[in-house]
Amino acid sequence: MPLLDVTAIDILTSSEHGDKSLYGRQRLFGTLAYCSTTAAVGEILERQGIQSILLVVLATSFTAVIPSLLLLPSTIEKKTKGDNEKNIPASTPPTSEVAPLKPKQNNVLALLKKPSFIIFLFLVFVQGVSRHTLQNYLVNYLDDPKQRIMKKSTYGHTSWGMCFAEIVLFFFAKKILAKLGPARMLIVSQLMMVIRVWALYFLPRSENYGYLVFFIEIFKGIGSGLMQSTGVHLAHAAAPRGLEATAQGFFAAVYGGVSAVAGSFIGGLLYESRDSHALISGTAYMSTFGFVIFIFKYEIYDRYFSSNSSK
């Protein structure tokens, strides 16, 4: 994913009318594919078993390689042409005047020493923990025989509303980014998580109210779309030249890796407690606490303390 993200941004910025804020419109095609697949996963698992899922993954992955190979030559040609026309200086300075390039390792350390980047990764982690706690255990909670709210196969179809909201956000990501700015986009993404979890908290534990999950999961799509668009933008902007993919890697590792491990562990403890509803209440408290941190960082500290220190 980090390589795909940085490649997409590189292609967008290298074109004549390119803009990295258009990343969201490119990303929406991945969401559309995710939506189409997720809706069918429950049915395929029940009828065909896990082996069929593995075959589908292999087939779709191989199919995705073909358009990538077709895109690669034109990208290289365009980039080489641009380098030859624009980036060659009229006269080459003496060797002694050329500044030596800094080792890449030093650039990585400089990136990790940026307080703003580390705080950004921490906030991504905070939201990622809540996200993966629900992602790993919400289906089991909803399909718990003691309090069945929705069957696992039915839950797969909730992805349609979620993905529709995410696609709309990706399409208008550039305008939203220009209107709100990256910081407030992060705040709103965490707010969507808070609304989603508290809605699940107050959801009656009865199959008669299972249809409400379709509407609740729309907030998941909104929050995910905002976080993906903003996270990629901020990671790319914070990276020194040549380390864009590295910064994307840190973002992806925290949002989809480290937080996934922590969310799985915390979610397991909550779900296996005396009352499985602790999964929802615990996640609600975590996400609300995270929202307070988001507000303090971007609306209080950055606006008042950071601006005063810069003066």
Domains of the chain: 2-85+104-310 (1.20.1250.20)
pLDDT of residue 22: 57
pTM summary value: 0.71
Render pLDDT for 198-229 as a digit per residue (tens, 0 to 9).
Answer: 999 999 988 899 999 999 999 998 998 888 88
pLDDT of residue 68: 64
Mean pLDDT along residues 15-25: 56
Render pLDDT for 135-149 as a digit per residue (tens, 0 to 9).
Answer: 889 988 998 888 889
pLDDT of residue 159: 77
> Is residue 141 within 8 Å of 284, Cβ to Cβ?
no
pLDDT of residue 303: 81
Render pLDDT for 34-68 as a digit per residue (tens, 0 to 9).
Answer: 666 666 666 666 666 666 667 777 777 777 677 66
Mean pLDDT of the chain: 77
Least confident of 73-87, 138-152, 214-228, 274-288: 73-87
pLDDT of residue 154: 81
pLDDT of residue 114: 86
Residue type, 37: T
Mean pLDDT along residues 164-180: 83
Render pLDDT for 89-122 as a digit per residue (tens, 0 to 9).
Answer: 444 444 444 444 445 556 788 888 888 889 899 9
